Amino acid sequence: MTLATDRVRARPAVSPQLSFLLGQNAIGLGLWGLLAPGAVNRFLGLRTSAQTTRALFGAREMATGIVLFSDPTRVGALWARVLGDAFDIAVLTRLTRRANPQRSNTRLALGVVLAVTALDVVAAWRMSNVKRNRA
Amino acid sequence: MKAICWQGKKDLRCEDVPDPIILDPKDAIIRVTSTCICGSDLHLMNGFVPTMCAGDVMGHEPIGEVVEVGAEARARGLKVGDRVVVPFQMICGECEQCRAGNYSVCQTTNRNADLAKAFFGDTTAGLFGYSHITGGYAGGQAEYLRVPFAATTVVKVPAAGADEKYLFLSDILPTGWQAAAFADIQPTDTVAVWGCGPVGLFTIQSAFVQGAQRVIAIDDVPERLQMAAGLGAEVLDRSQAKVIPTLKEMTKGHGPEKCIDAVGIEAHGPTAVLELIDRVQTALKLETERPIALREAIMACKSAGTLSIPGVYGGLSNMIPMGALMNKGLTIRTGQTHVKRWTDDLLRRIDEGQIDPTFVVTHTAPLGRGPEMYRKFRDKQDGCIKVVLKP
């Protein structure tokens, strides 16, 4: 089905859709961290308690995910994600040491987190600089 | 030109867009002099209406001056310089539905009729600035607007008088009027109106003009209840009292004969827990709206009463008390407003001074501040009830 549309329209902005998708992704990760913290720990070779993983990973991802899912323009939540990414990168970098038998998994996770961090920074920076009103 | 554009959920921006041009001999171009933010624009803004696309121009309540006319529109009497209100729907005036006065379901003007048929089972009219399911037409929160089917669509209004006097003929005044008319009000009737936003207030005003004995206004925003009381309604503050038992008490135990839901998709309450259940269901796409006012109206209505629904619904609602609806023998009447069915009569009543619609305006701002005013309206800040934007 082809949709007719109007030529009188603005150029589509990328940041709202990107922010919304990041929110959905965060909800998915949040569910993983909240419902299966043991699986997260085993996958990454983490030796923290399930409660710690649930709080520092699952709850954190879920919180920013719900905020961005309900309102993708929330700049604070996007920058909070960037801070969370920095924490994740620090933890995962330590976990890539040879002593960790799951280091191949942590390298994969680190690559994914670095890519998502780039998207978070782009979304946060662009959304922070949107000028909604005009003179 | 400048226009208010939807870029994503809760993301509106005033942006530069191409100027409209005549694309069809039936078209006209309007220079918009005033345009409003409607409650249903909030549903679009908040992502409740599917088929919005990033970049869409918002708005469906404009008034302005004709600056360019296609040949066919000119032949049918429209000319440059005419002052016109543009109803939110465009109509051909010739199809089976238009000839029956069912203008909001014109069979000709929705250029995405197949999509509407897939969603709703049949097409609706084309609407301005109201998603692609209603045609994907650019809206009127802009400096200029192309009006397809212009000669049959627009309402000519007198050259003199403030825009605000006629502006609301585009949508909310006929919507309130139709809501009352669909309730088939009798002189002994008590009418309960859920929601004292602009449509609810015009519904209350219309219910009295159409002969209601009593009108009960239900809301929880003090300034809106105050405005409803100013129109002569008894007020029910839902933050202070439970709606259904209070309505029963006020009506000798049976409920109002006529109940009007002027809230629609994004209702709140009746308790935080019950609202959360609806919010979770909408987030999980198990339903697409929060029909709280509708449920209350069905439960409150007196047996054999009538339920009129001007509030906007777009998709699927859960937990509708069908048992109460059926066993009490309620009549439901609803639909987008058939604007042109009512505008001649309403224009006369405005010019005769019987109806003064200007009382709803609380805020006026330049078009460029539209996104800010949307938030103010949505959050009911600063006593905001109706915003008029000036391009």
Q: Is the pLDDT reported for residue B283 higher than 90? A: no
Q: Is the pLDDT reported for residue B61 higher than 90? A: yes
- pLDDT of the residue at B221: 96
Other beta carbons within 10 Å of B323: 9
Contacts of B9 by beta carbon, 8 Å cutoff, 6+ apart: A16, A20, A71, A72, B45, B46, B47
- pLDDT of the residue at A11: 97
- pLDDT of the residue at B351: 96
Q: Is the pLDDT reported for residue B117 higher than 90? A: yes
CATH 3.60.15.10 fits domain B2-171+337-390: no
Which residue ranges make up each domain of chain B?
2-171+337-390, 173-334
The fraction of chain B above a pLDDT of 90, given in percent, is 97
Task: Go through chain A and tell me how many residues it has.
Answer: 135
φ and ψ of B223, to 5 deg: -70, -30
The Cα–Cα gap between B4 and B140 comes to: 9
The Cα–Cα gap between B221 and B126 comes to: 33
Q: Please, how many CA atoms are within 13 Å of residue A36, restricted to the half-sphere of its CB?
A: 9
Token pair listed for A118: 């780039």
Put simply, the answer to whether B9 touches A134 (Cβ < 8 Å) is: no
- The whole model's pTM is what? 0.94
Q: Which residue of B has its CA nearest to A7?
A: B18
Put simply, the answer to whether B137 touches A72 (Cβ < 8 Å) is: no
H or E element in which residue B32 lies? strand B28-37
φ and ψ of B84, to 5 deg: -135, 145
Q: What letter represents residue A36's amino acid?
A: A
Mean pLDDT, chain A, integer: 95
Contacts of B328 by beta carbon, 8 Å cutoff, 6+ apart: B301, B302, B303, B304, B305
B145 within 8 A of B62, measured Cβ to Cβ? yes
Min Cα separation B317/chain A (Å): 19
Name the DSSP letter for residue B170. G
pLDDT in tens, A122-131: 999 999 999 9
The whole-number average pLDDT for the span A2-13 is 95
The DSSP line for B50-104 is TT--TTEEP---EEEEEEEE-HHHHHTT--TT-EEE--SEE--S-SHHHHTT-GG
Q: Is the pLDDT reported for residue B383 higher than 90? A: yes
Residue with tokens 């200029």: B144
Mean pLDDT, chain B, integer: 97
Min Cα separation A29/chain B (Å): 16
pLDDT in tens, B214-272: 999 999 999 999 999 999 999 999 999 999 999 999 999 999 999 999 999 999 988 89
The whole-number average pLDDT for the span B181-203 is 98
- pLDDT of the residue at A84: 97
Torsion, Cα B320 B325 B331 B336, to 10 degrees, reads 0
3-state secondary structure of A94: helix
B55 within 8 A of A11, measured Cβ to Cβ? yes
Identify which of A1, A8, A133 has the shortest CB distance to residue B371.
A133
B63 within 8 A of B35, measured Cβ to Cβ? yes
Put simply, the answer to whether A20 touches B9 (Cβ < 8 Å) is: yes
Other beta carbons within 10 Å of B170: 30
Q: Which of B311, B328, B172 is nearest to B256 (CA)?
A: B328
- pLDDT of the residue at A1: 79
CATH 3.40.50.720 fits domain B173-334: yes
Put simply, the answer to whether A11 touches B371 (Cβ < 8 Å) is: no
- pLDDT of the residue at B85: 98
Put simply, the answer to whether A13 touches B10 (Cβ < 8 Å) is: no
Confirm or reject contact between A6 and chain B (CB < 8 A). yes
The DSSP line for B189-232 is -EEEEE--SHHHHHHHHHHHHTT-SEEEEEES-HHHHHHHHHTT
pLDDT in tens, B68-84: 999 999 999 999 999 99
- pLDDT of the residue at A8: 98
Confidence of residue A2 (pLDDT cuts 50, 70, 90): confident
Confidence of residue A98 (pLDDT cuts 50, 70, 90): confident
